[in-house]
Structure 1
Amino acid sequence: MKQQISYQATAFYHLSKQPNGEESELWVIFHGYGQLAEFFLRKFQDFFSEDRLFIAPEGTNYNYLQGFHGRVGANWMTKYERETAIENNHRYLNALLDSQLESFTTEPKLKILGFSQGAATASRWASQIGYPVDKLILWGGGFAHDLKWDGFEEKFQQTRLYVVLGNQDEFITPESIKKQEELIRVINIEVEKVTYSGGHDLHYPTLKKLID
């Protein structure tokens, strides 16, 4: 007889610097499957500045990347009990955003980037927060197929939306591209598609254009 219980939990995140509450941009960046937030954040270090605060939350599920020892990676969910994982992610990420916004004297522009598995997580999270999203970048992935579309068009009317894909990305298939195109038609708002020459990774020149 399966039951469930709720309890207080601890999650981890990394910051680009100590916040001063005066930053004009707040970037929340989501790592991909098997990555760790600390190392994912380092990919953005050339864009660190006094006016930007990068927050890299870490998925709360951990596993060895090969076998039973060695390097460990984090992920946002698996297919097992995925709905519970999504709800837990939202509670964690909402609490994280609220805690950071408390220090700001003027509301910063919220910009969100999700890479690979983090793209689906980012799109789900962005669709349910009450804070306005200035920019949403889905890189090496796309919109979650199970997004709640009610009110999506109105919520993201003022949001700049990007889907970024490498032309040699081994995880992107014609079928997945077709599904994303169908989802984008449902959204009925403008989504800019960006491609670059490369594989399943953050392409620096493209990243620079989207951040600066």
Structure 2
Amino acid sequence: MKKSLHFQYQAHYALSHEPTFEEKEVWLVLHGYGQLAEFFLRKFQPHDSSERLFIAPEGTNYNYLNGFSGRVGANWMTRHEREVAIANNHVLLDSLMEKYLSGFASLPKVKVLGFSQGAATATRWASQWSGSIVQLILWAGGFAEDMKLDLAREKFGKTKILMVMGDQDEFVTDQAILAQQKMLFKLGKTAEELSYSGGHQIDSELLSKIIDSNA
């Protein structure tokens, strides 16, 4: 008989700086498959400031990237016990945001960026989160197909959505793009679409433009 046990669990995340709780913006940035939060955060560190805090949670599933030794990466879920992983992700992200946002006397703007697998995780979580998100950036990824549309339609009603992809990204197919366009239609949303010359990666120049345009 297979059963489940609830117990206290330790998860990791990285911060761009120790918060003063006077920041005007809080960015939640979710890494892709096989990455680690502390290294993913380095892409955003140049934009850290007294008014902008970046929080990078780390997926709680780990695996060796090649064979049975060497570099280790994290992921948000696999097909095995997928629903449990999704529920755990929601608890992790809810708890992390509560930990930091509760310290603000005046709530900052919350912006969410999900890269690759982190994009689906971000949309799935954000669509049910109790807080407000002013901007959602889906980079080399898109909305989770199993997102609850009624909740998402209401939650993202006033959220600005950006969809970013490289023109040489081997993981972004025409079929995937069409699926995302259909999802936007179901949500009653339009998205600003941005592209760069490159593959499945965070382009530093375009990232700078996105962040600075909202400064």
TM-score, scaled relative to structure 2: 0.96
Q: CA deviation at 1:151?
A: 3.4
Letter in 2 for 1:208: S
Which secondary structure state, in structure 1, belongs to the residue aligned with residue 22 of structure 2? coil
Is 1:163 the counterpart of 2:153? The answer is no
Letter in 1 for 2:151: G
Match of residue 178 from structure 2: 178
Q: CA deviation at 1:56?
A: 0.3
Match of residue 13 from structure 1: 13
Which secondary structure state, in structure 2, belongs to the residue aligned with residue 184 of structure 1? helix
Match of residue 140 from structure 1: 140
Q: CA deviation at 1:48?
A: 0.7
Query: In the aligned structure 2, how far is the partner of 1:36 from the partner of 1:187?
Result: 31
Deviations 1:130-150 (A, max 9, x none): 111010000000000110011
Q: CA deviation at 1:184?
A: 1.2
Query: In the aligned structure 2, how far is the partner of 1:8 from the partner of 1:141?
Result: 31
Q: CA deviation at 1:152?
A: 2.3
Given that residues 128 and 155 in structure 2 are in contact (C-alpha distance below 8 angstroms), is that contact kept between their aligned partners in structure 1? no
Is 1:74 the counterpart of 2:74? The answer is yes
Match of residue 196 from structure 1: 196
Letter in 1 for 2:182: E
Query: In the aligned structure 2, how far is the partner of 1:153 from the partner of 1:5?
Result: 34
Match of residue 44 from structure 1: 44
Match of residue 118 from structure 1: 118
Which secondary structure state, in structure 2, belongs to the residue aligned with residue 87 of structure 1? helix
Match of residue 92 from structure 1: 92
Match of residue 22 from structure 1: 22
Residue range with higher mean Cα deviation, 32-41 or 2-11: 2-11
TM-score, scaled relative to structure 1: 0.98
Letter in 2 for 1:140: A
Match of residue 153 from structure 1: 153
Cα-Cα RMSD: 0.9
Query: In the aligned structure 1, how far is the partner of 2:4 from the partner of 2:140?
Result: 34
Residue range with higher mean Cα deviation, 145-154 or 64-73: 145-154
Letter in 2 for 1:160: K
Query: In the aligned structure 1, how far is the partner of 2:160 from the partner of 2:149?
Result: 17
Given that residues 128 and 151 in structure 2 are in contact (C-alpha distance below 8 angstroms), is that contact kept between their aligned partners in structure 1? no
Q: CA deviation at 1:173?
A: 1.0
Query: In the aligned structure 2, how far is the partner of 1:166 from the partner of 1:13?
Result: 27
Query: In the aligned structure 1, how far is the partner of 2:135 from the partner of 2:164?
Result: 13
Letter in 1 for 2:152: F
Query: In the aligned structure 1, how far is the partner of 2:134 from the partner of 2:21?
Result: 18
Query: In the aligned structure 2, how far is the partner of 1:133 from the partner of 1:85?
Result: 23
Query: In the aligned structure 1, how far is the partner of 2:167 from the partner of 2:186?
Result: 25
Match of residue 106 from structure 2: 106
Q: Which runs of 4+ in 1 moved over 4 A?
A: none
Letter in 1 for 2:37: A
